[in-house]
């Protein structure tokens, strides 16, 4: 089974397009009409949609860590630093994660790219 991804608004479109070309189920914040929403609302939305959040915004790490510490359930966060991980690395690693992971593997977790 594969997991579906929810892309934060600052993720480059090339990453989303590359993943779609490889058959990964991706929904962007913009497509979901949630651009500009706060991180906590976006993470709630990703969890509601049963999608794992992908972000390159360090603020998502703060929100995910807060939830882990408080025992608040969320669908998971995948994080890649924008300046040190290439588009190709993001596409490759996200494809691998999406195609070999189960939703339960990523629930309440933060995973860092590159792998």
User: What is d(CA 12, CA 31) in angstroms, rounded to the nearest whole number?
Assistant: 14
CA distance 29 to 75: 15
Listing DSSP states for the chain in one string gives ----EEE-TTS-HHHHHHHHHTT--EEETTTTT-TT--HHHHHHHHHHTT-EEEE--HHHHHHHHHHHHHT-----EEE--TTTS-HHHHHHHHHHHHHH--HHHHTT-EEES--
Give the tens place of pLDDT for each residue, 80-112. 998 889 999 999 999 999 999 998 999 999 999
Is residue 41's pLDDT more than 80? yes
Residue 1 has pLDDT above 70, yes or no: no
Range of the domain at 76: 5-112
Q: How confident is the model at residue 57 (pLDDT cuts 50, 70, 90)?
A: very high
Edge-to-edge strands, sheet with 26-28: 26-28, 5-7, 52-55, 77-79, 110-112
Q: How many domains in the chain?
A: 1
Give pTM, 2 decimals: 0.95
* CATH classification of the domain holding 12: 3.40.50
Determine contact, residues 97/74, Cβ cutoff 8 Å.
Answer: no
């Amino acid at each position: 089974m594969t997991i579906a991804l929810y892309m934060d608004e600052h993720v480059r479109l090339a990453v989303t397009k590359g993943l779609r070309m490889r058959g990964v189920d991706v929904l962007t914040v913009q497509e979901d009409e949630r651009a500009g929403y706060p991180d906590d609302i976006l993470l709630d939305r990703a969890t509601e949609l049963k999608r794992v959040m992908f972000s390159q915004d360090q603020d998502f790490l703060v929100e995910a860590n807060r939830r882990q510490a408080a025992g608040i359930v969320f669908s998971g966060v995948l994080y890649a630093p924008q300046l040190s991980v290439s588009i190709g690395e993001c596409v490759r690693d996200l494809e691998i994660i999406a195609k070999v992971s189960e939703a339960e593997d990523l629930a309440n977790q933060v995973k860092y790219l590159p792998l």
